[in-house]
Structure 1
Amino acid sequence: MGLFRPYKQGQTETEPVKGSGQKGSGQNSADDATPAPSQPEPRAEETTQPRGRTAKTGPTPTRAQAEAARMARLHPNLSRKEIRKRDRRAREERRLSNLEALEKRPERTMIRNYVDSRRTFGEFIMPIFLVIMAVWLVIIMFMPRQIVIVNLLSLVMLLTMIGWGVDTWRLWRGVKKELMARYPDMSRKGLLSYLNNRVMTPRRWRNPAPAVERGGARRTPKD
């Protein structure tokens, strides 16, 4: 039997012993066919990073530092101009929210539909007043002695205001009848002013936009 040198752990090849015969060479070949023990594989914990965690880039902040950062996010240091701008935006948002809630009330919806479905004299008041004021200014600047024209413009303005009052009274009488029929226990405080503002605004500039056509079906909200 040929002699062989014992191999160390982890050694993959053995060197043949000098002077060994043919039989010894066969024994070494048999020994070389034996698989060498493999190196231990690294564990999963050593090769992979835990999920959901990021690499640490700096020292962990103290409790006081974390609290200061949180307060800075909640109460940022703003200038006076930025504070005024923020407060103004908050007030405008509250005003629009309250106005939207008021416009959804059924009595206001009924008044809008009542006015929008009719042709009113009040929607021409603002254009008439603007024309009168423009002509009046021209006369005062270039024709100050034309007293007759000035008196005529004053008469036109007076007639316009009388027509506005009559038209508002006519509309309010019809609206009040429908309010008494549909909402007898509802307070009518402020509704006359709301009707008057709706009448004086030209139709294309009314907000909310008209939901009915002129002379169309005069819809009223359902109970």
Structure 2
Amino acid sequence: MASTYAGGVFRRRSEEASSATALAEQDDTQPRDPQAPKGRPTPKRSEAEANRRTRVTVPKDRKEAARQSRDRMRAEREKQRSALLEGDERYLPARDKGPVRRYIRDYIDSRWSLAEFFLPYAVVVLVLSVLPSNELKTASTLLFMLFFVMVIADFLRLGFGLRKALAAKFPDTNTRGSVPYGLMRTLQMRRLRLPKPKVKRGEKP
């Protein structure tokens, strides 16, 4: 009788253990109830992969973090350099972005300006000033002063014209700092300007 009772108890315990194991395996294959005290929803595969990638890219030390920061900055500078050469406005520096700045560049690039010849002219004057002839030195100084005055007058002409054009084109837009931005562009020779000119001389912007 005792052996029969012990066998029955042992059999019931074995069945309960098997049931518990089956339930545990079922829980592993099915998402847990988010309302359960210790349960949580099983993450999606895409979320799990994203979390795994995030864990992999977290820098382990300060040197690694600095290296990753330098790599990101280098990639960003390369994007901006390519954008300046190709005109891709998505990656242009902040000072060159927007329809106002694009219009200013087109306005300046479509016109002749004396300022873009200032540097070549200054080189010629410098060469004349080192020659032994006093007459040439005096002439180079006078020519430089005359050209400088003409550049200032051309600045005023372009500046007033650009301000008027911006007021007509963008009446409800803040264009503060736009005129200096355009005048600084005139100091660069046309083929060296960045972003690259998109209009021809004489073409309407």
Equivalent residue number for residue 148 of structure 2: 161
How many residue pairs end up in the alignment? 142
Matches within 5 A, 1:62-73: none
User: 2:190 corresponds to which residue?
Assistant: 203
When you count helix as a share of all residues, which structure comes out higher? 2
Task: Note the C-alpha offset of 1:124.
Answer: 0.9
Counterpart-to-counterpart distance in 1, 2:153 and 2:180? 15
Counterpart check, 1:131 vs 2:124: yes
Change (3 A) 1:132 1:180: same
2:116–2:190 CA contact under 8 A, matched in 1: yes
> For residue 178 of structure 2, what is the aligned residue in structure 1?
191
Structure 1: segments with no counterpart, 5+ residues: 1-69
Provide TM-score, normalisation by structure 2.
Answer: 0.57
Identity %: 30
In the superposition, relative to structure 1, how do residues 132 and 77 fare at CA in structure 2: closer, same or farther (>3 Å)?
farther
1:44-193 correspondence runs (5 A): 74-77=58-61, 83=66, 86-87=69-70, 90=73, 93=76, 96=80, 99-136=92-129, 138-139=130-131, 143=132, 146-193=133-180
Deviations 1:23-73 (A, max 9, x none): xxxxxxxxxxxxxxxxxxxxxxxxxxxxxxxxxxxxxxxxxxxxxxx9895
For 1:89 and 1:134, the matched residues in 2 are separated by 45
Give the gaps of 5 or more residues in structure 2: 1-53, 81-89
State the distance in 1 between where 2:99 and 2:91 align: 15
Give the TM-score normalised by the residue count of structure 1: 0.52
How far off is 1:76 after superposition? 4.7
